[in-house]
Structure 1
């Protein structure tokens, strides 16, 4: 008697399906690792940029403290408004603090005449980050010919 042995297709199909699932899991895990690494690099860039900005702000605040003390001293030693105005005419009105090679913090001050020693001696006109150079973005689309 000639019996034919029939091997079911289920064994091969389940093996192929298992290989496909494993390949999918491996590829998704690699993609998530690459994405996490890119997020980490971006986070470090943002962190360094924020630290540089706040260091520039700290320098500006220190300068504001020094200017305030200097203006208070000038006001206390001035006899009248005209001598006060003559004394403060030599003070800078715009200060620059570097953030990076491409940016700096610009602080512009105004020096109004105070009515008493308890009034403010300066006003902050602007406190802004300015770009030193024009940023050129790569807008080319690389297409395979």
Structure 2
């Protein structure tokens, strides 16, 4: 009699290979999704921090605006002529008064500041006009050019 093999043969067929390929694709896409989600979370946190910092500085700027508006109204109420009002306003604002405007910079993170310039109207009731209210860089931005980058020209000489 011929020998019969009794036992289980482990055959890896085409369906098993396809299943292994599908599992590997799902794991790869899962890892890419996690990496993308982590990057999105990091960007959202940085954006939230920047917005929070701006509104903190804006709140301080609003307090500065109210202080200047009160000083202008006080100067207009306590003095008759333009020159007298100007002298009272310069004395009240001190270092904030420069070149006919009330100027301040509210420090922010990442080498930025909220620059505010307010122009008082000393004629009439004493209103205040916002001349500038913007975010500025307080430090010079230096571009890192230490890595050599192709300039777009082809060197045809062979060395």
TM-score (normalised: structure 2): 0.74
Give 2:83's aligned residue.
82
Structure 1 range deviating more: 37-46 or 76-85: 76-85
| Aligned ranges 1:96-135 → 2 under 5 Å | 96-115=105-124, 117=125, 120=127, 122-135=128-141
Instruction: Give the whole-Å Cα distance in 1 for the aligned partners of 2:43 and 2:57.
Output: 21
RMSD value, Cα: 2.3
Give 2:34's aligned residue.
33
Give 1:42's aligned residue.
43
Structure 1 range deviating more: 26-35 or 130-139: 130-139
Distance 1:123 1:42, change over 3 A: same
SS in 2 for 1:95: strand
SS in 2 for 1:44: helix
Shift of 1:101: 3.8
SS in 2 for 1:48: helix
SS in 1 for 2:13: helix
Gaps of 5+ in 1: 3-9
Instruction: Give the whole-Å Cα distance in 2 for the aligned partners of 1:113 and 1:76.
Output: 10
Instruction: Give the whole-Å Cα distance in 2 for the aligned partners of 1:131 and 1:65.
Output: 25
Deviation digits for residues 113-134 of structure 1 (CA, Å, limit 9, x no counterpart) = 232x2x52x2111111111123
TM-score (normalised: structure 1): 0.80
Instruction: Give the whole-Å Cα distance in 1 for the aligned partners of 2:81 and 2:143.
Output: 55
Shift of 1:137: 4.7
SS in 1 for 2:122: coil
